[in-house]
Structure 1
Amino acid sequence: MTDEEPRRVPQEAERKRGAGEAERDAILRALTPVVDGIAATFGPVCEVVLHDYRRPESSVVAVAGTVTGRTVGGAMSEIGMRVLARGDEAADELNYVTRTGSGRLLKSSTMVLRDSAGAVFGALCVNVDVTEVGRVQSLLAALSGTGAPSADTPVTTFGDDIDSVVDALLDAHLARQGQTWAGLDRAARLDLFRGLDERGVFAVRRAVEQIAARLGISRASAYNYLSQARATAAPDSHDTPEGAAP
């Protein structure tokens, strides 16, 4: 092997990486007018969001509609974090129902974006506000005596700040445990970190520091809990999405 040959390997890898990034950028550009077209077709009850998961903290690259108040440069929500955590194993999630913090009922779909190599790098998401439909259903159910629809629809935190999404996921996990951090035993603490990891929280920059500060522990302790949680995670530990808008 000549001196030139070792240098060609990283150069070739870099060239392929650059070509892959260019392809992904081209796909996002091609989908941008689709975002406006879908939203215009369904009207003011519809919001369409295009995400680039290479930038979790500012993944929104195009948005049309105002259902959740998202803006370009905004962050992903829980569903995006789960897609990010599952990587190339992620699949489309269609027609799931969630609720905003203000009580609006949404029907949503998340369609993952892949490059020609099959790698997941983003998502096209559609949120339709079906609040009024739900109210009509409740009225008809009351009139017919068949009962009202279930109110156990999960709540999703929306916002352009990724920190608020991370905080909401942490609060939700602690609420399910019915305990504060101080009241959790070691197994429950590992379960908390494992659950957050499975939802993609630690793919976000500074998430470990944010979680540590919220729990009142050192960053080193947080990294230690995360390492132990990953070491003891079950091989098939990804749970079914609980329903969160993209």
Structure 2
Amino acid sequence: MENDCNLDFLKRLAKGISVQFGRNCEVVIHDISSDHVDYPIIFIENGHVTHRDTSTSASRIVLNALKHVSTSLEDKLNYTTKTHDGKILKSSTIYIRDSENKPTGIFSINYDITELTIAKNCIDSLTSYKEDIDEANQIPQNVNQLLDDLLDESVKKIGKPVALMSKEEKIQAIQFLNEAGAFLITKAGDKTANFFGISKYSIYNYIDIKNKI
């Protein structure tokens, strides 16, 4: 690290992040500017997440920083890792650089998302379904809305607006409504007749056509 001032700021930043996000958030600072062969952790918050402390030696991230050309190193954000005891971590690694752009330290955040992953899997299991939501199964607020939904669906079944429907297509639409139980709704006949531009008498004739077949 360049100076104690920078290190003090990074320690306070690490503390702030760990407090903000709670006990599952580990924040680690490595000093890779020293000549210490193991490049140990110089500061850590919530070390219980990975069972590490300031006596722990270099990690893979540190070795990667030491092995590669400094200009080729890029911050690695929002990736996942695993601990030896099976915890799933969401991690970010930020390289601390000096005035010559050489990495002098590493600031890492490791958030334990194991329990969240389990919860997500449970939620996905509960909310998954085999097919897309069927508009025919929408829940209406009242019978008028139910009839409106059935009328709209009858038009979709034919595939063209009412104004362009032939008599045969209107017969198909009316028969669909009858099979769906639309005419069990009070005054459905009047509304349907107005919707299709036919008489109530025609509606019952169209239904009878199906019954006579």
- What is the TM-score when the length of structure 2 is the normalising length? 0.54
* CA deviation after TM superposition for structure 1 residue 104, in Å: 0.8
Query: Which residue is 2:118 aligned to?
Result: 135
Q: 1:66-77 counterparts in 2 under 5 A?
A: 66-77=48-59
* CA deviation after TM superposition for structure 1 residue 68, in Å: 0.7
- Distance (Å, rounded) in 2 between the aligned partners of 1:91 and 1:26: 24
Could you tell me the percent identity over the aligned residues?
33
In the alignment, structure 1 segments of 5+ residues that lack a partner are 1-20, 148-246
Query: Which residue is 1:15 aligned to?
Result: none
Answer 1 or 2: higher relative contact order, Cα 8 Å, separation at least 6. 1
- Distance (Å, rounded) in 2 between the aligned partners of 1:78 and 1:138: 29
2:22 equivalent to 1:39: no
Deviations 1:79-133 (A, max 9, x none): 2211221241211000100111111110000000001111111110000000111
* CA deviation after TM superposition for structure 1 residue 145, in Å: 3.5
Change over 3 Å in CA distance of 1:146–1:72 after alignment to 2? farther
State the one-letter code of the partner of 2:41: V
CA contact (8 A) 1:51 1:124 kept: yes
State the one-letter code of the partner of 1:43: G
2:14 equivalent to 1:52: no
- What is the TM-score when the length of structure 1 is the normalising length? 0.47
Structure 1 residue runs of 4 or more that deviate by more than 4 Å after TM superposition? none
2:64 equivalent to 1:82: yes
Deviations 1:173-213 (A, max 9, x none): xxxxxxxxxxxxxxxxxxxxxxxxxxxxxxxxxxxxxxxxx
Query: Which residue is 1:27 aligned to?
Result: 6
SS in structure 2 at match of 1:118: coil
State the one-letter code of the partner of 1:37: G
- Distance (Å, rounded) in 2 between the aligned partners of 1:26 and 1:94: 25
Query: Which residue is 1:175 aligned to?
Result: none
Query: Which residue is 2:156 aligned to?
Result: none
Query: Which residue is 1:62 aligned to?
Result: 43
Pairwise CA RMSD = 2.1
* CA deviation after TM superposition for structure 1 residue 26, in Å: 4.1
- Distance (Å, rounded) in 2 between the aligned partners of 1:24 and 1:92: 22
Give the number of the structure whose alpha-carbon radius of gyration is greater: 2
